[in-house]
Amino acid sequence: MDFLELSDRIIDSAGSHKQISAAATNRRQAPTDFSIIYSKDLLPASGGEKVTKEFLHELLNILLGYICKSSRRSGKVLDFHHPHQLKEGLEGFSLQLTDKPETLEQILVDCRDTLKYGVNTGHPRFFNQLSSGLDLIGLAGEWLTSTANSNMFTYEVSPVFILMEEVLLKKMQGIVGWSDDEGDGIFCPGGTISNLYSILVARYYFYPEVKTRGMRALPQLAIFTSEHSHYSVKKSAAVLGMGSENVLMVKCDESGKMIPVELESSIVAAEERGLVPFYVNATAGTTVYGAFDPFNDIADICHGHNLWMHVDAAWGGGLLMSDRHRMKLQGIERAWSVTWNPHKMMGVPLQCSVILIKKRGLLQDCNELGAEYLFQRDKPYDVSYDTGDKSIQCGRHVDVFKFWLMWKAKVFWYQSSRGNFTCGELVVMFASPLPQPEHSNVCFWYIPPTMRGLPPGPDRDTRLHQVAPRIKHRMMEQGSVLIGYQPLGDKVNFFRCVFSNPATQQEDVDFLLDEITRLGNDL
């Protein structure tokens, strides 16, 4: 016990602040000198309000500068450096941690440098991932979320956020097409975890004993998903102890859609090998082509075999908001679970992903353990709102508020997704895509002039395989635009251009196509 130490600390921190606020008062209107101020002078230090306000205002100026620059086409998408260059330190920007506290001035400089050497994912010419753009309402939501600094485990600590989650889950269940008396769900850290939940809950639905006894008490289960589906299905099967080789990949047609008769025959073949089929993942918007599986046909097959049908609509779910495009998801309402990432097509800041489960109560039964330090039953409110035991996490980040705020601020995703599609159609005019896009991904090869006369075949493929990486390399060095590429099946490396950024306009599409031509012309 050392009261003196405690008192010293209080006096010390108050004392050091007094010097600063006296200095600040003497220099009224003069800019604050952050080079003599440290983090210990900020709140909760006694009298730290003024310095706190000045520090966060200065930070806001830095962030606003970045936001405004991001939206200007004159700025770069990225300022590329190799890992060893950044690690060695560039123009005084050191990633290394020292043993003495830095001043707030240095902290602000570090913030500027971190943004400077990062990738500008909100830039109108960032086409690299399914998530892009910077929605300012979503950003405001995220800033508030981190200021509230709470946790989703109980109503007790997050009353507003827990109820917002309920409101949004119900809304999304309705949009999927489920009736008012069905539907459950939870916000998760990303689409892979959402897909993992779907398999976890499906397994529990058919074999509730798995929770206590494990996979060894079960027959050898089999999972079905298309060869174009996201790798998270296989990854989840490995994590869940089901084995990645028990995920059977169903053939797709040329456009990337699962072929229903192939699913049917895969199921029969698996049964003949002694496996027990129980779960089918269908995809709404595949990662590379953006294809939509035929949900009604798949639902018929699942119904016939009594299999759990999941729809991974991480990418395609956003189209449910569009009168024009939602028919692509026809039959999704027959799924028993749905993954939907508002951080993709709906532009919510990272991350925001939802797993929806049709049958109410399953999620809770599957995961609850009733830890008594958190989920006491003798609390003074309706403890059914302590939803944290539905989760495979304990602490859970608040991902719901930014989404709720965006939903309030805008009911115009329909229009913006139409804009994205129109941009996609511009690329289609330029390049003959593989295949004709259903979503706003457009996949295409750039064929340099010297290769245009070559006959299709292995020689041409070998050369073509190197074109996209080489153009991408040049793009990264120049920092003018960013687009992804990959091979798929028997197709050598091709570009995948993703339109999900509302900042992207026709001129950016033109720029991208010109830039590819310029950078790849000599290959």
Site for a second copy in 308-337 (CB under 8 A): none
Q: What DSSP designation does 258 have?
A: B
Rounded-to-integer distance, Cα 106 and Cα 439, Å? 45
Rounded-to-integer distance, Cα 166 and Cα 187, Å? 10
* Residues 63-102 contacting a second copy, CB under 8 A: 63-64, 66-68, 71, 80-84, 86-87, 95-102
* Residues 387-426 contacting a second copy, CB under 8 A: 392-398, 401, 404-412, 415, 418-419, 422-423, 425
Interface with a second copy (CB under 8 A), residue from 75, 177, 243, 479 = 243
CB-count burial class (<10 Å; 0-12, 13-18, 19+) for 182: exposed
Q: What is the DSSP string of 473-500?
A: HHHHHHTS-EEEEEEETTEEEEEEEE--
Rounded-to-integer distance, Cα 25 and Cα 23, Å? 5
Residues in contact with a second copy, shown as a per-residue x/- string from 162 to 201 under the rule CB under 8 A? xxx--xx--x-----------------xxxxx--x---x-
Applying CB under 8 A, the site for a second copy has a residue count of 183
What is the β-pairing status of strands 337-340 and 353-357?
Answer: antiparallel
* Residues 415-474 contacting a second copy, CB under 8 A: 415, 418-419, 422-423, 425, 429, 466, 469, 472-473
CB of 225 to a second copy, least distance (A): 13
* Residues 356-385 contacting a second copy, CB under 8 A: 367, 369, 371-374, 376, 378-382, 385
Nearer of residues 56 and 261 to a second copy, judged by Cβ: 56
| Element of type H or E holding 310 | strand 308-312
Name residues whose C-beta falls within 8 Å of residue 252's C-beta, 6 or more positions apart in sequence: 226, 227, 228, 258, 259, 291
* Residues 107-166 contacting a second copy, CB under 8 A: 107, 110-111, 114-115, 117-119, 121-122, 124, 128-129, 131, 133-134, 136-137, 139-140, 142-144, 146-151, 155-164
Rounded-to-integer distance, Cα 454 and Cα 339, Å? 43
11 belongs to the binding site for a second copy (CB under 8 A): no
Rounded-to-integer distance, Cα 221 and Cα 236, Å? 14
Nearer of residues 272 and 372 to a second copy, judged by Cβ: 372
CB of 211 to a second copy, least distance (A): 5
56 belongs to the binding site for a second copy (CB under 8 A): yes
Per-residue CA distances from 182 to 22, 194, 335, 365, 411 (Å): 62, 19, 12, 16, 25
SS3 state at 150: coil
CB of 357 to a second copy, least distance (A): 15
* Residues 19-38 contacting a second copy, CB under 8 A: 38
268 belongs to the binding site for a second copy (CB under 8 A): no
